[in-house]
């Protein structure tokens, strides 16, 4: 297991355990805890705490109609979802988002590529492929951005991020991530708002690249 030094904040793990994280962030956290033993243990502790709270909560009577509907749902046929295993740099949760297929990369220029996994009201999540020495243009954030390293590493104003590390960036952070020497950096990036680029050309191309 790779040494991981940048972990998911406890509030994110609690929200993920409670099912309240938007889907893009939930995917990033799920992929992180599939790689990080410490955060997986913390997540399971949150699940156990939630179960204990439910067990200690007093029961409430329900109507016969609601009870009947619930029993009908329990009797309905269950379609099992396929279980996806890690493939190369991509952990199981990412392979599930890819539906077991390789990423469909699209060029952003200068060797940088992206593959959008989802893009909707609750935000977007994408894979980024950044050759060694290449930089993501200087930017800040209109919301929250979670970036999980799947291959290689990158460095920015806050430090170095290797495989399994999760960077949490908000409106207070302005940075220029640069892929380190070695293997190309592949990241999973989840956002709930468009990035705020400082240079004119990235701002001009932003609607086209949906980032």
pLDDT the model gives residue 40? 97
Nearest partner of 187 among 75, 112, 122, 111, judged by Cα: 112
pLDDT the model gives residue 208? 74
Residues 135/184, Cβ–Cβ less than 8 Å: no
Q: Residue ranges of the chain with pLDDT lower than 70?
A: 1-2, 50-64, 66-68, 70-79
pLDDT the model gives residue 165? 98
Rounded CA separation 130/132 (Å): 7
Rounded CA separation 79/143 (Å): 36
Q: What is the CATH number of domain 1-211?
A: 2.60.120.10
pLDDT the model gives residue 54? 47
pLDDT the model gives residue 207? 79
pLDDT the model gives residue 79? 67
List pLDDT tens digits, range 145-164: 999 999 999 999 999 999 99
Name the 3-class secondary structure at 71.
helix
pLDDT the model gives residue 66? 67
């Amino acid at each position: 297991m790779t040494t991981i030094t940048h972990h998911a904040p406890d509030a994110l793990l609690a929200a993920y355990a409670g099912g309240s994280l938007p889907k893009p962030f939930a995917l990033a956290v799920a992929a992180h805890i599939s790689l990080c033993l410490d955060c997986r243990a913390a997540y399971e502790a949150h699940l156990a705490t939630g179960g204990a709270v439910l067990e200690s909560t007093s029961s409430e009577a329900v109507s016969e109609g609601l009870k009947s509907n619930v029993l009908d749902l329990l009797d309905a046929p269950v379609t099992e979802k396929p279980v996806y295993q890690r493939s190369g740099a991509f952990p199981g949760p990412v392979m599930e988002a890819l539906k077991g297929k390789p990423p469909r990369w699209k060029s952003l220029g200068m060797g940088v590529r992206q593959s959008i996994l989802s893009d909707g009201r609750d935000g977007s999540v994408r894979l980024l492929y950044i050759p060694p020495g290449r930089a993501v243009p200087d930017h800040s954030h209109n919301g929250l951005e979670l970036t999980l390293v799947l291959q290689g590493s990158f460095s920015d104003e806050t430090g170095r991020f290797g495989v399994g590390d999760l960077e949490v960036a908000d409106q207070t952070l302005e940075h220029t991530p640069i892929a380190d020497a070695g293997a190309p950096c592949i990241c999973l990036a989840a956002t709930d708002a468009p990035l705020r680029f400082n240079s004119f050309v990235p701002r001009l191309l932003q609607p086209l690249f949906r980032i």
